């Protein structure tokens, strides 16, 4: 039976005899196969273990502290992921053979010297405390990719919200740009003019772009990675473009549960500082071959990982886990969402206004996707500041705007 062990060094695999072995026997196997002493190990099925900073933090993860418990009691089976925190240093096994670049007859260049100093280690702490999703917004996104796309093609969107003084990212809506989703790739067909409108609406609502969310397909679920090499590069590019240190990248995927059914999971990460720097400096190989391992990112120059010079890096080295929460934000997400398969028309506007006619008019238009529709399709782009100010402050919409919007709907 194979188990996947995720630590600060990335994802590794160990072989065990079966689910009947105890936690103590598992720790013994980790010591022999991964060279981590038993006394240095803390194990858990909770990924938040990797965020632990103090002994008190570690003591909260007690699900695997009893050495006599069999793995079967924790519903662990072939392919299960166990999270490992350990003290001390180690040499990561299984790296490529070290090549003596710059020595034995070849002069070392400045690039060689820089590469020798470029050490990739796991970043322990994210720059944001956590990310919290507006429930309706998150549900609208996952429902579309689950029920309409059936997780057969990828989908992505930009998350908009706020960053609190404590570093908590609060996501209130998701803008889905024009895109082409494939089985293992996501091509964003970005429209600068539309994005300017989106950013203007967000600013009027007191929000800004705070991250990127994307899905993995059911075909990818069979692969053994958190992010593929293509996803690492796309996420690093968008993170670098944002220039926001709290920028968050979220992946949505289907995973089999204990009953064999599939559940939708949200997982949040930040790209490590080193990942963003390497992207900005052009170190990533951005072309992929059929035989490339998607779990590994290729470098144009050698970097040092686990004491070895390598040109392929486990993608997990570039990911920093972020805690996820949810909240009920002030905006609704009931208007049809932009750039999906069905064109949004005035009929949708009429239907929305009819459905919400018992509410004050400002509440009826307190929906980012509705405001974008009005600004983009109905020529109200110049009126965005006035409308968003009403929504942001929840004050009455001037009668002229109300009559104009209602007349548009009635013309459907």
3-state helix, strand, coil in the chain (%, to 5): 35, 25, 40
By CB neighbour count within 10 A (0-12 exposed, 13-18 middle, 19+ buried), where does 117 fall?
exposed
Beta carbons of 297 and 284 less than 8 angstroms apart: yes
Burial letters for 258-275: b for 16+ Cβ neighbours within 10 Å, e otherwise?
A: eeeeeebebbbbbbbebb
Beta carbons of 122 and 10 less than 8 angstroms apart: yes
DSSP state string for 16-46: -S-TTSBHHHHHHHHHHHH---GGGEEEES-
Angle at 204 (CA atoms; ends 236, 412), nearest 5 degrees: 100
For the full predicted model, state whether its pTM sits above 0.85. no
Residue matched to tokens 């062990």: 5
**Quick one: DSSP state of residue 243?**
T
* Token duo for residue 90: 């180690």
**How, if at all, do strands 324-327 and 130-134 pair?**
parallel
Among 198, 110, 124, 186, smallest CA distance to 375 is for: 198
User: In this predicted structure, what is the pLDDT of residue 103?
Assistant: 35
Average pLDDT by stretches of 10, the chain with 412 residues: 85 88 93 90 90 83 92 89 85 43 44 65 93 97 96 97 97 97 94 96 97 94 85 98 97 82 92 96 93 94 88 95 96 96 94 96 97 90 92 96 94 85
Q: How many CA atoms lie less than 13 Å away from 397 in the CB half-sphere?
A: 22
Burial letters for 137-158: b for 16+ Cβ neighbours within 10 Å, e otherwise?
A: bbebbbebbeeebebebbbbbb
- Residue 330 neighbours by CB under 8 Å, 6+ apart: 172, 366, 394
CA distances from 15 to 18, 36, 77 (A): 9, 15, 12
CA distances from 136 to 141, 142, 332 (A): 9, 10, 7
Please state, as a whole number, how many other Cβ atoms lie within 10 Å of the Cβ of residue 169. 28
CA distances from 193 to 199, 304, 335 (A): 10, 42, 21
Which residue ranges form the domains of the chain, and what is each CATH number?
2-86 (3.10.20.90), 120-327 (3.40.140.10), 346-411 (no CATH)
Among 1, 20, 135, smallest CA distance to 69 is for: 20
User: In this predicted structure, what is the pLDDT of residue 142?
Assistant: 96
* Token duo for residue 107: 């002069």
User: In this predicted structure, what is the pLDDT of residue 111?
Assistant: 58
**How, if at all, do strands 168-175 and 156-163 pair?**
antiparallel
Q: Rounded distance, CA 34 to CA 266, Å?
A: 29
Q: Rounded distance, CA 148 to CA 162, Å?
A: 29
Burial letters for 367-399: b for 16+ Cβ neighbours within 10 Å, e otherwise?
A: bbbbbbbbbbbeebbebbeebbebbbeeeebee
User: In this predicted structure, what is the pLDDT of residue 178?
Assistant: 96
């Amino acid at each position: 039976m194979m188990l996947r062990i995720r630590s600060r060094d990335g994802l590794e695999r160990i072989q065990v005899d079966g689910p009947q072995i105890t936690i103590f026997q598992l720790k013994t196997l980790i010591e022999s196969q991964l060279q981590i002493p038993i006394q240095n190990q803390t194990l858990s099925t909770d990924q938040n273990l990797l965020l632990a900073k103090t002994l008190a933090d570690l003591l909260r993860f007690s699900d695997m502290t009893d050495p006599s418990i069999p793995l079967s009691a924790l519903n662990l089976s072939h392919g299960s992921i166990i999270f490992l925190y350990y003290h001390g240093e180690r040499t990561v096994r299984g790296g490529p053979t070290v090549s003596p670049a710059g020595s034995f007859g070849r002069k070392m260049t400045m690039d060689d010297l820089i590469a020798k100093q470029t050490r990739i280690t796991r970043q322990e702490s994210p720059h944001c405390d956590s990310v919290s999703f507006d429930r309706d917004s998150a549900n609208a996104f996952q429902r579309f990719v689950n029920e309409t796309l059936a997780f057969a093609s990828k989908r992505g969107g930009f998350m908009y919200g706020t960053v609190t003084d404590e570093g908590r990212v609060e996501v209130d809506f998701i803008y889905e740009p024009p895109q082409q989703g494939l089985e293992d790739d996501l091509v964003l067909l970005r429209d600068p003019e539309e994005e300017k409108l989106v950013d203007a609406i967000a600013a009027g609502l007191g929000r800004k772009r705070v991250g990127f969310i994307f899905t993995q397909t059911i075909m990818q679920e069979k692969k053994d990675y958190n992010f593929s090499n293509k996803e690492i590069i796309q996420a690093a590019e968008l993170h670098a473009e944002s220039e926001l240190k709290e920028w968050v990248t979220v992946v949505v995927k289907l995973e089999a549960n204990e009953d064999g059914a599939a559940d939708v999971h949200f997982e949040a990460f930040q790209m490590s500082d080193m990942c963003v720097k390497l992207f900005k400096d052009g170190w990533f190989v951005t072309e992929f071959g059929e035989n490339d391992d998607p779990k590994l990112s290729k470098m144009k120059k050698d970097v040092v990982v686990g004491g070895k010079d390598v040109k392929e890096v486990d993608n997990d080295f570039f990911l920093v886990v972020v805690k996820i929460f949810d909240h009920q934000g002030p905006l609704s997400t009931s208007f049809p969402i932009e750039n999906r398969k069905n064109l949004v028309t005035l009929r949708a506007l009429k239907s929305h206004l009819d459905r919400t006619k018992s509410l004050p008019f400002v509440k009826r238009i307190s929906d980012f996707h509705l405001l974008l529709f009005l600004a983009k399709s109905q020529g109200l782009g110049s009126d965005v500041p006035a409308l968003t100010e009403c929504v942001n402050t929840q004050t009455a919409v001037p009668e002229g705007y109300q009559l104009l919007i209602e007349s548009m709907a009635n013309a459907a």
